[in-house]
Amino acid sequence: MQDENLFAALRGEVLIALEALAPGLAPDVLARVEVTPTKDPAHGDMATNAAMIAAKPASKNPRELAAGLVEKLSTHSSIAKAEAAGPGFVNLTLSPALLLAQIPLILNAQEAYGQGVSKSRKINVEYVSANPTGPLHVGHCRGAVVGDSLANLLSKAGYDVTKEYYVNDAGAQVLALARSVYVRYLEALKLPTEAYIATVPGGMQYGGGYLVPIGEALAARHGDKFAGQPEDIWLDEFRTFAVSRMMDMIRDDLAALGVRHDVFSSERALVENGGVERGLQVLRDKGLIYRGILEPPKGKKPEDWEPREQELFRSSDFGDDVDRPIAKSDGSYTYFANDIAYHADKVGRGCPDLIDVLGADHGGYVKRMQAAVKALSGGRLDVILCQIVKVMKNGEPVKMSKRAGTFVELRDLIDEVGPDAVRFLMLMRKADAQMDFDLNAAVAQTRENPVFYVQYAHARCRSVLRAAQAPSGEVDFSSLTAPEEVAMIRRLITWPRLVEQAAEAREPHRVAFFLYDLASDFHALWNAGRDNTALRFLQEDKPVETAARIGLVAATAIVLRSGLAVLGVNPVEEMR
RNA sequence: GGACCCGUAGCUCAGCUGGAUAGAGCGUUGCCCUCCGAAGGCAAAGGUCGCGCGUUCGAAUCGCGCCGGGUCCGCCA
């Protein structure tokens, strides 16, 4: 039984026993058989639902089947006790030797413990993808953290992961950016700007001070040669320069959060090298694009609505509610068309599985994109929608007002509470649930701050290990029998399974909760030693017991560290 | 009008893809530092899992219908 994931290993044993009792069960029945940790230690270490799942298809009584499983599994060397319980559960108590053997296994594997076997499967996680028109604001934060940690988690689970950022540098937004930069350019030259601004359709859209140095840089480089010139002389150059500077700024913001993408894909490059046509051609070849007229949205009645023939994608064939336009009335492509092409490009790079991490305001966009991917490749697109984050201080929502200058930019938040707290707390909720981000809790040095609590547990581990002498030779772990010690081991062996399950569900927040529970177990173990000196880790005259406990503490530190690594949170050595 | 997300202790939230007596923190009450980090731990109290039907051995979890909160709904990205 070499599998790091003991639950998977035991599940294998259960299936063998089940096959002997009820031969020839269908694969989809067997797939529902699971071996899970028990909630109550009185139920042993693990439980399986095998008898209840198999009872009906095998035409047997679940309790009888459970009794049969107990008989077979009891003979297994790694199982100390098996018993039937409740409606047909089989509870398993592992042999102490097997349980204790997990400690040296963790110590040898170090942070690789819990690493899933390579799935030889590429997966692409796209996240952040904020428009390159300014610094990141707090609204981008959750997606950045969730996407980055999810990518780490998938990598931990054995996928070949690409972290990707889609740069929307082709649309009207970046043209507006270029025009705003032009105003700053004129200002840098001490030239009047009112006359120019009056000619811009939307006016000065990006008035933030962050564009001032960009305008100055362009003035320094080009002097006044673009002043008073028509757009077609300078627009392209200004756009390219500004986008490049914006992306530098965004990369800096992300770096401050510990987020680093492998690939930055340019929408403009895709458009200019014909990628949009290539992507759409795939759909045209399948007869999925046609000219038609959409019904008006029911009940809403836009006042300027009029029936119009346009190019549509047959997304309703793939689960969407209605077909979606790919071209605007002026003939240019919609954002959706470009995005179809972009996803086609990702698929074409050899990624069968795609994940987009988006803000909740893109919710209405999910079905059509999933339909497009299905149509393009038959592949799977998971969309993680991150709901709104409300920043709270002293029980009051913090106003996100540019004029008031409070907490607009992501950088403000990081400066206030630090990157570790931002990352951990963003993962203390499911992505699809709205959350309150409590600034007071984020900086608290108490249990109510999960980051602190987990880092403190790690610091305590390190504190013990610093005080201890490294044991030499084989360590005998059989002295670890106290309830708190056993609970600790039971938690540790859950880690490989948690990685697998959280990755499968695409739910990085589960790692944060696991770490919190793990830290809680460790603090309880620590305090058991405070109440009962015989349970302290370091025992002067008992080298065997001491070595065993040091091993347990070291294993705990390893799992804490590898979990924190998935979240991108720093495992601190001490908390002075 | 329609689509998607959410509704669990007074508050903020978990609940391992349908399992056993629904959990944690904060808040309330009571305990534990001559001793490896008390920045911690232990215990008590607190629940019609929004409401109602249904599916089945079994539902907080799945389906349908309501109620409440959020996001969105052709030529923005």
**Per CA to C1' distance, which residue is closest to B25?**
A448
Q: Which of residues 417-446 of A touch strand B (CB under 7 A)?
A: 428-430, 432-436, 438, 445-446
Return the SS3 of A502.
Answer: helix
- A151-A436-A155 Cα angle (round to 5): 10
CA(A62)–C1'(B56) in Å?
14
Q: Is the CB of A261 under 7 A from strand B?
A: no
How many Å does it take to go from CA A527 to C1' B38? 9
Is there contact between A196 and strand B, defined as CB under 7 Å from any strand atom? no
Which window residues (83-122, chain A) lie with Cβ within 7 Å of strand B?
A: 85-89, 91
> Which nucleotides of chain B are near protein (any atom < 7 Å from a CB)?
1-7, 12-17, 19-21, 23-26, 32, 35-42, 57-58, 69-77
Q: State the SS3 of A181-248.
A: HHHHHHHHCCCCCHHHHHHCCCCCCCCCHHHHHHHHHHHHHHCCCCCCCCHHHHHHHHHHHHHHHHHH
Please state which CATH class domain A6-94 belongs to.
alpha beta
Nearest protein residue to the C1' atom of B69, measured from CA: A434
Name the nt closest to A513 by C-alpha to C1': B14
Query: Which nucleotide has the shortest C1'-to-CA distance from A298?
Result: B1
| Cα gap A382→A279, rounded to integer Å | 20
Residue spans in chain A of domains classed CATH 1.10.730.10: 447-567
In Å, what is the separation between the CA of A528 and the C1' of B32?
11
Residue nearest to nucleotide B58 (CA to C1'): A87
Whether A310 sits with its Cβ under 7 A from any strand B atom: the answer reads yes
C-alpha separations of A551 from A154, A458, A469 in Å? 28, 14, 11
Residues 512-541 of A with CB under 7 A from strand B: 513, 516, 520, 523-524, 526-531, 533, 535-538
Give the model's pLDDT for residue A36: 95
Say what the pLDDT of residue A409 is.
87
Q: Note the pLDDT of residue A259.
A: 96
Predicted pLDDT at A114: 95
pLDDT per residue rounded down to tens, chain A (576 residues):
456 899 999 999 999 999 999 998 998 899 999 999 998 888 999 999 999 999 989 988 999 999 999 999 999 999 999 999 989 999 999 999 999 999 999 999 999 999 999 999 999 999 999 999 999 988 899 999 999 999 999 999 999 999 999 999 998 899 999 999 999 999 999 999 999 999 988 788 888 889 999 999 999 999 999 999 999 999 999 999 999 999 999 999 999 999 999 999 999 999 999 999 999 999 999 999 998 888 777 665 566 677 778 899 999 999 888 899 998 878 889 999 999 999 999 999 998 889 999 998 898 899 999 999 999 988 889 999 998 888 888 877 887 665 555 567 899 899 999 999 999 999 999 998 888 888 888 998 888 899 999 999 999 999 999 998 877 788 999 999 999 999 999 999 999 999 999 999 999 999 999 999 999 999 999 999 988 889 999 998 899 999 999 999 999 999 999 999 999 999 999 987
Residues of chain A with CATH 3.30.1360.70: 6-94
CA angle A40, A552, A495 (to 5 degrees): 55
Round to a whole number and report the distance in Å from the CA of A143 to the C1' of B13. 19
- Would you mind telling me the total number of residues written for chain A in this entry? 576
Single-letter amino acid code for the residue at A489: I
ipTM comes to 0.95
A453 CA to B47 C1' in angstroms comes to 28
Q: Which of residues 339-378 of A touch strand B (CB under 7 A)?
A: 360-367
> Closest nt to A446 (CA→C1')?
B39
What is d(CA A478, CA A2) in angstroms, rounded to the nearest whole number?
Answer: 20
DSSP A137: B
Domain A447-567 class, CATH top level: mainly alpha
